Amino acid sequence: MREARAAKLGHCRLVTTVGDMHKPKQTLESSAILSGSAFGCPRQFLGNRFVYAVISSRARGLSIGVNMNPDKLCNFDCEYCEVNRIAPSLEKDLDLAVITEELQRTLELAHSGELKRIHYYRHLPPDLLQLRHVALSGDGEPTLCHQFLDVVREVIHLRALSHFPFFKIVLITNAAGLDAPQVLEGLNLFTHKDEIWAKLDAGSQQHMDSVNHPRGCKLEKILENILLVARQRPVIIQSLFPLLHDEEPAAEDIDQYAMRLRHLKKAGAQIPLVQIYSATRPTARSGCRHLPLKALSLIARRVREISGLATEVF
Ligand code: SF4
């Protein structure tokens, strides 16, 4: 079996691994050579208040994001979170008109090629500058945003105007609020091309507590919410495994996590892919580092063995 192809290039460690078909999916090594540390770099707001651009390995290129939580509201406090919650928020509320205007402007930058003129993107290869999706994400948990449905409607309306080529919408969530009525209503507006990427970092409450520090949210609830939505439409699972205080996750924790995935699948969850990765961007806390690639590959193998799901390591 070809386990993984990895490239460690400057600061950028980039991997493509196998799915359950045991075939490499796509090699990004050539892009990585040119992009250097682009995947580990922070979001660029380009003068905007709510809309940003980021080069994302999991998106395989340019992701334009809407910061759904400028107030930094989240019910997790992940060890690896990049958001500095000590610094006060610059924005408290979303402004739909401004979001639409900024999204439009950023889409124009991406499609016109103007983005390449910005020094940050100047040396990136064209494939990394191709727009892969518009993400509903941000400095907190998007499903907790009380304007979630309004934002979804606004983005879908902009897409329907067809001023730009069709873009996929991706909701990036910790799954805690996936069962909220306005979130379910918003997801009903998604097309089959739009995606949900749901976080699942642990298979036991104890492990989840040590990595995600959830507030008022239990692992069982996260699993219920993923199942609720994944019975209706495919959900991509995102799992981040950090090296915490120089310790790799225990084998028992990994097996419990893989068993949870197996149960989800058996209960009818449609999970086309499990993305396995580690902390790459600077985190707000110290003590959290990138897990060695070999460890990530072993986790992916365990997931495939136990759950039979396709995995990719980043
Ligand atoms: S769920 Fe996301 S925003 Fe919330 S603490 Fe974790 S990484 Fe940060």
Q: Which of 73, 178, 212, 217 to mutate to test the pocket of ligand 1 (most atoms within 8 A of CB)?
A: 212
What pLDDT does 208 receive? Answer: 98
Residue closest via CA to ligand 1's atom 6 equals 78
What pLDDT does 290 receive? Answer: 92
Report how far ligand 1's centroid is from the alpha carbon of 77 (Å).
6
- Indicate which atom in ligand 1 lies nearest the CA of residue 69: 3
What's CA 54's distance to the chain center, in Å?
12
What pLDDT does 281 receive? Answer: 73
| Cα separation, 311 vs 25, whole angstroms | 10
Report how far ligand 1's centroid is from the alpha carbon of 30 (Å).
31
> What is the CATH number assigned to the segment(s) 4-313?
3.20.20.70
Ligand 1 site residues, Cβ closer than 6 angstroms: 74, 76-78, 81, 83, 140-141, 174
| Cα separation, 39 vs 60, whole angstroms | 9
Residue closest via CA to ligand 1's atom 7 equals 81
Q: Which of 174, 197, 210, 225 to mutate to test the pocket of ligand 1 (most atoms within 8 A of CB)?
A: 174
What pLDDT does 37 receive? Answer: 55
- Indicate which atom in ligand 1 lies nearest the CA of residue 75: 4
Report how far ligand 1's centroid is from the alpha carbon of 140 (Å).
6
Please state the domain extents for the chain. 4-313
- Indicate which atom in ligand 1 lies nearest the CA of residue 80: 7
Report how far ligand 1's centroid is from the alpha carbon of 268 (Å).
27
What pLDDT does 162 receive? Answer: 86
Q: Which residues pair with 6 in a beta bridge?
A: 15
Residue with tokens 């979170």: 81
Q: List the one residue out of 214, 205, 101, 93 whose CA is nearest residue 154.
A: 101
Q: List the one residue out of 240, 238, 221 whose CA is nearest residue 81.
A: 240
Q: List the one residue out of 83, 31, 34 whose CA is nearest residue 60.
A: 31
- Indicate which atom in ligand 1 lies nearest the CA of residue 74: 4
Report how far ligand 1's centroid is from the alpha carbon of 80 (Å).
8
What pLDDT does 16 receive? Answer: 35
Nearby residues of 135 by Cβ (< 8 Å), 6 or more positions away: 59, 63, 64, 65, 66, 169, 170, 171, 172
Q: List the one residue out of 30, 139, 49, 144 whose CA is nearest residue 91.
A: 49
Burial of 256 (0-12, 13-18, 19+ CB in 10 A): middle
**Ordered per-residue pLDDT tens for the chain, 314 residues:** 333 333 332 222 333 333 333 333 333 333 333 444 567 677 899 999 999 999 999 999 999 999 999 999 999 999 999 999 889 888 889 999 999 999 999 999 999 999 988 888 888 999 999 999 999 998 999 999 999 999 999 999 999 998 999 999 999 999 999 999 999 999 999 999 999 999 999 999 999 999 999 999 999 999 999 999 999 999 999 999 999 999 999 999 999 999 999 999 999 999 999 999 998 877 777 789 999 999 999 999 999 999 999 999 99
| Cα separation, 157 vs 150, whole angstroms | 10
What pLDDT does 13 receive? Answer: 30
How crowded is residue 101: how many other Cβ atoms within 10 Å of its Cβ? 16
